[in-house]
Chains A and B, each alone.
Chain A
Amino acid sequence: MSREEEVTRILAVGLRRVLGRLSVDFDRLEEIRLRVGQPFMVVCGGKKNFVSEEGEFCPAGEAHQVTLAEIAETMDYISSYSRYAFEEKIRQGFLTIQGGHRVGLCGRTVMEEGRVRTISPITFLNIRIAREIPGCSGRVVPFLWERGQLCDTLILSPPGLGKTTLLRDIIRALSDGTKEQACMVGVVDERSELAACCQGVPQNDLGSRTDVLDGCPKAEGMMMLVRTMAPQVIAVDEVGSEEDCRAMEYVMNCGCRLLATAHASSLEELGLRPVFGRWLSERRFGRYVLIEREREDIFYRVCGKDGLTLWRGRRNER
């Protein structure tokens, strides 16, 4: 199934028709946003566009208005008519569909004992289209090594710039690396975005020396991997909670190298967060990779443990 099919098949029939008429190449789409009673929106190259019934970009007033029925139908397809099977994910506000595309959910939250029990009705959806860009890490990976040792690395960017895409390609590069540099990689894929597992089988290529723990909470997963799979490198996406940080500390202190991503647009911003601020001053990470957008281009910046830039270059779209 192509990426276009993976995404369009989960849309309500009416929305599918509108998207099918879209004059823009599907590969350029980054997000599809559905908001009840609001215009149908797609994000291309960082730009937000409203789409008319004819599939043309247009002002908000002329765009196709998304209905509650269309969102409900889309949710039926996303959840295979089985919300019960995705209770925990809905509680967390997202679902991952076949192909690793993430669907963010909003609406009315139902609380129980001070915790979110579910979201019902769901009235806002953000479908983020996952992209595999094989080789995008090609010029980054050599900078992640120092004296023959892989450095603990943190990938940073604001949402939507491709942290997961870059992490996935680094994992693949390390796992399939040359004889001297190939690593056993353990991946904790809590949101099923890295490997896009279907019934435990990865749909994305993560390399031949990679083990994937799919759908497992990151902190618990990191400990499980260390104890059971003897990885040389552990990779996790979007860390941030205190629990995650404790598990990361454990991993870094037990001989494994860590690859992780986090939300931040600069090292200064990262330093404002309690644990990361301490780690920055203690120089716990050997490398930081920052992802930056300049107009429509994406740039990677590799920094050393002291925060100084070692290399900066445009993302390799090969």
Chain B
Amino acid sequence: MMRAVGMAMIVVACGGLGFRQALLYSRRIKEGEQVARSVQLLLSEIRFRRLPLEEALKRVGTVEKSSFSSFLGRVAVRLSGCDGGSFYAIWSEELDEYLRQSLLGDEAELLWYLGQELGQFDLETQLGTLVRFLEQWRMRIEELKAQEEKKGRLYRYLGVFAGFFLVILLM
């Protein structure tokens, strides 16, 4: 009896790990969508209100509620401090901190590039940078979504089957 319970627990635990991995994948997509929403808002603030970065980032940080918008809010606070350092230096430090707790994967590299170009040149270039970022970002999210169903199913099956495999090995 105890043996059967133990085997069932192994199958459930491995299956749970598979399901968790699949869930993390969909959360990564959700976080990616939040990033796109925040950057879209930033683009609108700059396009229509001509706000400087400090104020635009602060507004996005207040209006949107996500870990990415909080990151933007923290950058705005650092900018208002005028304590030395270029925009990219401030952006990089805060992005490093944000990515430590983020679920984003390879797509995060686009955020580093975005930081290099924000605040530079004229309005036209600035808007172009944000539009280009959004296009590339959304493309990555679409790719992730396309893979989600396949990979999600794979993680779930893999978890359950790994459980059964372990049970067979132990028998």
Chain A residues within 8 Å of B, Cβ to Cβ: 9-10, 12-13, 73, 76-77, 79-87, 118, 199
- Cβ A84 vs Cβ B125 within 8 A: yes
**Residues of chain B contacted by A80 (CB below 8 angstroms):** 52-55, 79-80
- Cβ B125 vs Cβ A85 within 8 A: no
Query: How many residues does chain B have at the interface if contact means C-beta atoms less than 8 Å apart?
Result: 23
- Cβ B46 vs Cβ A84 within 8 A: yes
8 contacting pairs across A/B (C-beta < 8 A): A73-B84, A79-B52, A81-B53, A81-B54, A82-B126, A83-B119, A85-B46, A118-B122
Given the complex of chains A and B, what is the CA–CA distance between A48 and B120 in angstroms? 34
B112-153 vs A, Cβ < 8 Å mask (1 yes, 0 no): 000000111111011000000000000000000000000000
Which of A13, A81, A87, A199 lies in contact with B119, CB distance below 8 A? A81
| Closest chain A residue to B121, Cβ basis | A84
| Closest chain B residue to A12, Cβ basis | B84
Given the complex of chains A and B, what is the CA–CA distance between A199 and B84 in angstroms? 25
Tell me the smallest distance from the CB of A300 to a CB of chain B, in Å: 37
- Cβ A10 vs Cβ B82 within 8 A: yes
- Cβ B82 vs Cβ A9 within 8 A: yes
B79-102 vs A, Cβ < 8 Å mask (1 yes, 0 no): 110111011000000000000000
| Closest chain B residue to A9, Cβ basis | B82
- Cβ B82 vs Cβ A82 within 8 A: no
Additional A-B contact list (14), CB under 8 Å, known A81-B53, A81-B87, A118-B122:
A9-B82, A10-B82, A12-B84, A13-B83, A76-B86, A80-B52, A80-B54, A81-B54, A81-B119, A82-B51, A82-B54, A84-B126, A85-B52, A199-B55
- Cβ B79 vs Cβ A81 within 8 A: yes
**Residues of chain A contacted by B46 (CB below 8 angstroms):** 84-85
B45-69 vs A, Cβ < 8 Å mask (1 yes, 0 no): 0100011111110000000000000
- Cβ B52 vs Cβ A13 within 8 A: no
- Cβ A85 vs Cβ B50 within 8 A: yes
Given the complex of chains A and B, what is the CA–CA distance between A10 and B126 in angstroms? 23
9 nearest interchain CB pairs? A82-B52, A80-B52, A85-B52, A80-B54, A84-B123, A81-B119, A81-B87, A84-B126, A82-B53
